[in-house]
Amino acid sequence: MITLHPITENDIRGCSALLAENFNSHKFFSEGYLNWLYFQNPLGKVLGYNAWNDREIVAHYATIPIRTLRNGKTEKSLLSVNSVTNSNYRKQGLFNELA
């Protein structure tokens, strides 16, 4: 059974592995980079979810806080940065549930 949970610092290893495997790039999705991006952002922590099947992350969706300029005013916004679903779990609506 698949369950959804907010992203935590304890999930970084699984998120890194899922992203690296599906995008063929361990360089761009290292644990250090994701920890910095998700939990050391001076504007705030990641807002996102992981889909779990038992003890494995099978889908991931992350947004990070940013500041944008709109009509001359600075506003807080969210930037969607990483989204991935394990190939064995695609076409099940997980992206929509996570987002």
Question: What is d(CA 13, CA 82) in angstroms, rounded to the nearest whole number?
Answer: 15
The residue type at 58: V
> Are the C-beta atoms of 67 and 74 separated by less than 8 Å?
yes
The model's pTM: 0.91
- What pLDDT score was predicted for residue 67? 96
pLDDT in tens, 30-82: 999 999 999 999 999 999 999 999 999 999 999 999 999 999 999 999 999 99
Q: Say whether 78 sits in a helix, a strand or coil.
A: strand
- What pLDDT score was predicted for residue 26? 74
Residue 28 has pLDDT above 90, yes or no: no
Share of the chain residues as helix, strand and coil, in percent rounded to the nearest 5: 30, 40, 25
- What pLDDT score was predicted for residue 99? 92
What's 71's DSSP letter? Answer: T
- Closest residue by Cα to residue 21 from 92, 89, 96, 98: 89
Residue 24 has pLDDT above 90, yes or no: no
Mean pLDDT of 2-13: 97
